[in-house]
């Protein structure tokens, strides 16, 4: 699969597809989830969250695909085309697109509702029908970025400040701890990205492989609390995370971050490969 990704901070949001130019980063008005101030020692079975859309299981999605998918209508595609034409005529750079200069009169309402659903509801959504095959590379990036701009502010995805990233096998070694795995042919393990919202636009179907898989971190947390509360407590403690060679001046090679945070709601954030590198470096089996 060939795809483009993006990360957004929402007012709450974030989305990512990489460019070669540094982006002006805006702070969010409010974070979707605040950092945990809870004591990790208080995890008990009854701490599992009540049932709500974010705690879904695979069969739940399979039983009701219409609740988390939407095929763009002809009118919505026409709005995208009109916004593209206006942006191109004005000579705008992709990273300069905003809701004001990339207007989507009716689709914007859907995107605003989607932002709330992504942050406070089910946490995922699939758009179908974006006519990527008749768009130029610039237009693909602009449509993706422009739609995301209606849900939040973009944030950089790496030390070079890329805000749009291309998911493509560049022949990099997936065993190199400094390599981003989306530049290799290796399968992505389950992980989270450090953003309120992450988007992925599929550009081409692969001959084999490339399927996207999703899992609810809320469902994982609930299961852990129910079956292994000791492990849930451990995952509320800081874990060393490798910076994958992208170390800011004056910073260490790693930083500490819990896998789960609790503060009224539960948030999960993990990159297993980054934790594994740190554990291996420490000589821990």
pLDDT values of the chain reduced to their tens digit, one per residue, 285 residues:
566 666 556 553 333 333 333 344 344 333 333 333 344 446 665 566 656 688 899 999 999 999 999 999 999 999 999 999 999 999 999 999 999 999 999 999 999 999 999 988 999 999 999 999 999 999 999 999 999 999 998 888 777 788 888 888 888 898 887 788 888 888 888 888 878 899 999 998 878 777 888 999 889 988 999 999 999 999 999 988 888 788 888 888 888 988 888 766 667 766 655 444 444 444 443
Which residue reads 């206006």 in tokens?
Answer: 86
Per-residue tokens: 42: 């208080």
pLDDT for residue 92: 97
What does the pLDDT read at residue 155? Answer: 83
User: Which tokens in the block code for residue 198?
Assistant: 């992450």
What gap in Å lies between CA 28 and CA 91, rounded to an integer? Answer: 27
Given CA atoms 20, 21, 22, 25 in this order, what sign does their dihedral have?
Answer: negative
> What integer pLDDT is reported at residue 272 of this predicted model?
56
What's the confidence (pLDDT) of residue 13?
37
Dihedrals phi, psi of 37, to nearest 5 degrees: -120, 10
Kindly report the backbone phi and psi dihedral angles of residue 207, in degrees, each rounded to the nearest multiple of 5, phi listed first. Answer: -65, -35
| Inter-residue contact 245 to 177 (CB < 8 Å) | yes
> Domain segments of the chain: what residues?
2-33+61-204
Distance (Å, whole) CA 9 – CA 254: 23
CB-neighbour burial class of residue 66 (10 A; exposed 0-12, middle 13-18, buried 19+): exposed
Residue 149 is classified by DSSP as H
Per-residue confidence (pLDDT) for residue 191, from 0 to 100: 83
The separation between the first and the last C-alpha atoms of the chain, rounded to the nearest angstrom, is 34
C-alpha angle 137/194/53, rounded to 5°?
95
Query: Looking at residue 124, what is its pLDDT?
Result: 94
Nearest to 271 by CA among 248, 239, 246: 239
């Amino acid at each position: 699969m060939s795809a483009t990704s993006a990360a957004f901070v929402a007012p709450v949001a974030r989305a990512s597809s990489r460019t070669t130019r540094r982006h002006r980063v805006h702070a969010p008005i409010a974070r979707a989830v605040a950092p945990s101030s809870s004591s990790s020692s208080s995890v008990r079975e009854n701490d599992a969250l009540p049932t709500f859309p974010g705690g879904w299981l695979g069969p739940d999605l399979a039983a009701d695909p219409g609740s988390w998918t939407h095929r763009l209508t002809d009118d919505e595609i026409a709005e995208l085309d009109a916004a593209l034409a206006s942006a191109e005529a004005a000579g705008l750079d992709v990273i300069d697109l905003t809701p004001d200069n990339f207007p989507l009169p009716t689709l914007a309402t859907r995107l605003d509702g989607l932002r709330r659903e992504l942050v406070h509801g089910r946490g995922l959504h699939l758009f179908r029908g974006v006519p990527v095959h008749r768009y130029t590379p610039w237009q693909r990036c602009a449509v993706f970025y422009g739609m995301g701009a209606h849900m939040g502010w973009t944030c950089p995805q790496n030390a070079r400040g890329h805000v749009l990233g291309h998911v493509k096998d560049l022949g990099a070694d997936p065993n190199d701890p400094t390599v981003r795995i989306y530049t290799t042919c290796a399968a992505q393990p389950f992980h989270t990205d450090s953003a309120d919202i992450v988007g992925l636009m599929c550009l081409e179907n692969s001959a084999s492989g490339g399927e996207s898989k999703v899992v609810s971190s809320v469902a994982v947390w609930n299961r852990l609390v129910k079956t292994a509360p000791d492990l849930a407590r451990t995952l509320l403690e800081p874990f060393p995370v490798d910076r994958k060679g992208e170390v800011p001046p004056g910073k260490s090679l790693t930083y500490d971050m819990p896998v789960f945070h609790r503060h009224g709601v539960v948030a999960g954030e993990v990159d297993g490969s980054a934790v594994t590198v740190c554990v291996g470096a420490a000589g821990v089996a």
